[in-house]
Amino acid sequence: MADRKFIRTCSIWRALEVVGDTSILLILEASWLGARRFEAFRSRTGLLKPLLSDRLKRLVAAGVLERKPYADSPNRFEYHLTAKGRDLYWTALMMLRWERRWGPREGKISVTLRHTTCGNEFEPVPACGDCGGEIKARDMAWKEGPGLGWMTPTYSRRRRHRDAVGKREEKSVLLDHVAQITGDRWAGLVLRSIFTGLRRFDEICEDTAIATNVLSERLNWLCEIDMLELRQYSERPARYEYRLTEKAIDYYPILLMLLQWGDAYYLSPEGPPLLLTHKPCGNNLAPEVVCSSCGEALRPEQVRFEVAGGDVAEAPASGSGAAKAG
């Protein structure tokens, strides 16, 4: 069964088809920090011009960015987030939250978030829209939704660029560790499988349809960075399964926000393939991101941020917050 050429339909998979690429995440990070023009993206991401040009075209084709003529030079273009692109804001906040908790702290710019509604600095918190409780992976139950099915994966050939994240100039680094993980589409699918209870190599391989050599490399890498650990479940013969570490369990809100984004933009006519229940309140999950200070649901236009320790190329567009260089 490990050579099956189908995978479960999944909004996370559809979302990762768009953003599961480290270079694309670096571009989105630059956009959230205010980059609009090609040279600003190149300076902040450190990507080579051909690669940057290709990824910008992909984001425009996917409807995440749109090109707009310069006000002073109509034959040249800026890149602005569309409504679809701005809806990735919640994923970005969860990535920032996870990076602060688990990523290396040396040599990075830092961002202070302020909620204009209450006026306080805050941390973004993933919360249940019904009871307001913080969403934690262990408090979630899931079942198959009406859109569940099997589909042929269209794995395009992509060079692995995760090592390039750590080679950027320090003044440009914000999302480092998390960009390597979220930007690796296969790693995201592996984590999705294990979160749904599939822990053995053959199970994960069947669920994801990833080539065995690629899967082995990703599992080994996820163990090396302490996202997974091997546990023996049989002595004779010796057999092992992969278990999530606390670091990986805390990654769950990122996958959840990718799921929500994928449901919003890539839903099948039958409905969502996965239905989630928040066990503490028993309701179908409607996730939102709230302010840790006042508990109110956040809106992008209500968030201001100050960047310290780095350069801000340009002020972000309306609705994405305001940046101030430290």
Encode pLDDT of 69-103 as tens digits: 987 787 889 999 999 999 999 999 999 999 999 98
> pLDDT over 70 for what percent of the chain?
86
Task: Evaluate whether residue 171 is within a structural domain.
Answer: yes
* Residue 125 near residue 134 (C-beta atoms within 8 A): yes
Residue 32 or 57, more confident: 57
Residue 168 or 227, more confident: 227
Encode pLDDT of 244-285 as tens digits: 999 999 999 999 999 999 999 998 888 998 899 999 999 999
The residue range of the domain holding 118 is 7-308
pLDDT-wise least confident of 18-27, 118-127, 312-321: 312-321
Task: Evaluate whether residue 33 is within a structural domain.
Answer: yes
Task: Evaluate whether residue 210 is within a structural domain.
Answer: yes
| Cα atoms found within 13 Å of the Cα of residue 49, Cβ hemisphere only | 1
Predicted TM-score of the model (pTM): 0.87
The DSSP-derived string for 87-119 is: TTHHHHHHHHHHHHHHS--TT--EEEEEETTTT
pLDDT at position 173? 59
Task: Evaluate whether residue 322 is within a structural domain.
Answer: no
Mean pLDDT of the 214-221 span: 95
Q: How many domains does the chain have?
A: 1
The burial class, CB within 10 Å (0-12 / 13-18 / 19+), for 296 is middle
* Residue 60 near residue 38 (C-beta atoms within 8 A): no
pLDDT at position 86? 95
CATH number for the domain that contains residue 161: 1.10.10.10
pLDDT-wise least confident of 163-172, 277-286, 300-309: 163-172
Question: 309 falls in which pLDDT band (50, 70, 90)?
Answer: low
Task: Evaluate whether residue 167 is within a structural domain.
Answer: yes
Task: Evaluate whether residue 225 is within a structural domain.
Answer: yes
Task: Evaluate whether residue 318 is within a structural domain.
Answer: no
Residue 139 or 76, more confident: 139
Question: What's the sign of the alpha-carbon dihedral 135, 137, 142, 148?
Answer: positive
Task: Evaluate whether residue 285 is within a structural domain.
Answer: yes
Instruction: Tell me how far apart the alpha carbons of residues 280 and 141 are, in angstroms, rounded to a whole number.
Output: 10
Give the CA distances from residue 133 to residues 257, 283, 299, in Å, rounded to whole numbers and listed in that order: 16, 12, 18
